[in-house]
Amino acid sequence: MKTNAFLSIAREAYGIADSKKAVSPLLLNVRKLTTLADYFLIVTGESIPQINAITEAIYKGLRDSRGIMPAHRDGRDSANWSVIDYGGLVVHVMHPAARKIYALEKIWDGALKVKPLKKKRR
């Protein structure tokens, strides 16, 4: 899949997470720093149910709108961290304590921050 396609997918995943009230969403372009993915989406869920809701909403939303399935999912029903790997996009849904401990923003400090698409006004 082309990088532009992953950018579009990443922005859609950001919007889905935002609709589930994810805290401090951050979309990073890590393409120049790693071969793991082109983009990382890092968001915080403040409880196990919210972490699960965000993760499931992204999974189902991308499946239903784009017909894509992740290469891997990990951390289902985890109290700390859930990951969805789409190849060019890796989504991290983290509990606040896990996000602070693992500090992915610091690990990928050289990554470019990607602005989400502006919400359409109704």
What kind of fold does domain 3-113 have according to CATH?
Beta Polymerase; domain 2 (3.30.460)
| Average of per-residue pLDDT values in the chain | 92
Residue 64's identity, in one-letter code, is D
| Closest alpha carbon to 10 in 106, 107, 114 | 114
**Confidence band (pLDDT; 50, 70, 90) for 95?**
very high
Q: Examine the pLDDT at 118 and tell me if it is beyond 80.
A: no
The pLDDT tens digits of the residues spanning 30-64 come to 999 999 999 999 999 999 999 999 999 999 999 99
Whether the CB-CB separation of 20 and 43 falls below 8 Å is answered with no
Which single residue is written with the structure tokens 């989400």? 116
The pLDDT tens digits of the residues spanning 58-87 come to 999 999 999 999 999 998 777 899 999 999
Phi, psi of 25 (to 5 degrees): -65, 140
Q: Give the residue extent of every domain in the chain.
A: 3-113
Check residue 67 and give its pLDDT: 96
Partner residues linked to 93 by β-bridges: 43, 82
Record the pTM: 0.91
Angle between helical axes of 48-66 and 3-19 (0-180°, round to 10): 140
Residue 100's identity, in one-letter code, is K
Residue 25 burial (10 A CB sphere; 0-12, 13-18, 19+): middle
Mean pLDDT of 87-107: 96
Q: Examine the pLDDT at 117 and tell me if it is beyond 80.
A: no
